[in-house]
A and B are shown apart, each in its own frame.
Chain A
Amino acid sequence: EDKVVQSPLSLVVHEGDTVTLNCSYEVTNFRSLLWYKQEKKAPTFLFMLTSSGIEKKSGRLSSILDKKELFSILNITATQTGDSAVYLCAVVTPGGYQKVTFGIGTKLQVIP
């Protein structure tokens, strides 16, 4: 059974801190890894990673994938209160419908 595990489950930091969110996976086959941000609504897409060692970056957010060790990290630098959300990791595996398996998320709270 495919599995995606995120850690920590929750995190409280102060504005300006840097945080690292972790996502490890065990899947039969791997195509890509996706990161989403979810506030009190639908998840919004952040990154798609397919190759090891290549950092994806968007503003203060960045992410990298290690396909050998089967994990990814999402970094957020200089955190702001608007970064407070649940961050979801998902792995896409090839198959009849390109199955997407989600982790349960990391809840990040940024306090002033």
Chain B
Amino acid sequence: DAGITQSPRHKVTETGTPVTLRCHQTENHRYMYWYRQDPGHGLRLIHYSYGVKDTDKGEVSDGYSVSRSKTEDFLLTLESATSSQTSVYFCAISTGKNTVVNEQFFGPGTRLTVL
């Protein structure tokens, strides 16, 4: 499992509230990713990080922000949750060196429901 944990694993929240999801890895990988997975859409990249304090947007970044203050932690924040953000969120790491991505390994996922 490449030493990836996510917390919380399940969360129910109300529209308009802020939510932070945490991804933690133990193997010092440089590249970390946040995806969301929805029926009919597959996995879509929200944000990624290529090092401490180095982050950038993916294809569905609106409404989300991220931070990476330590190599091992990558946080995803929904500033003001909306029902459209109800989804399963996966964190992933890449085993690539430098800028070459090899296989990605995924965390167990967080199921978020926004009422």
Of A42, A88, A103, the contact of B108 (CB 8 Å cutoff): A42
Of B44, B101, B106, B109, the contact of A98 (CB 8 Å cutoff): B101
Provide the bound-state CA to CA distance between A102 and B90, in Å. Answer: 13
Range of interface residues on chain A? 20 to 34
Is B106 a contact of A99 with CB atoms below 8 Å?
Answer: no
Is B101 a contact of A42 with CB atoms below 8 Å?
Answer: no
Range of interface residues on chain B? 20 to 34
Known interface pairs A97-B56, A99-B45, A102-B42. Does A34 touch B103 (Cβ–Cβ under 8 Å)? yes
Whether A32 is near chain B, meaning CB under 8 Å from some CB there, is: yes
Is B109 a contact of A97 with CB atoms below 8 Å?
Answer: no
Residues of chain A from 80 to 105 with CB closer than 8 A to chain B in the complex: 88, 90, 92, 94, 96-100, 102-105
Residues of chain B from 54 to 102 with CB closer than 8 A to chain A in the complex: 56, 90, 94, 96, 99-102
Is B42 a contact of A42 with CB atoms below 8 Å?
Answer: no
User: Interface 1/0s, chain A 34-64, versus B by CB < 8 A?
Assistant: 1000000111110010000000000000000
Q: Which residues of chain A come closer than 8 Å to B45, judged between CB atoms? A: 99-100
Residues of A within 8 A of B (CB): 31-32, 34, 41-45, 48, 88, 90, 92, 94, 96-100, 102-105
The 4 closest A-B pairs by CB, nearest first: A98-B101, A104-B42, A42-B106, A102-B43
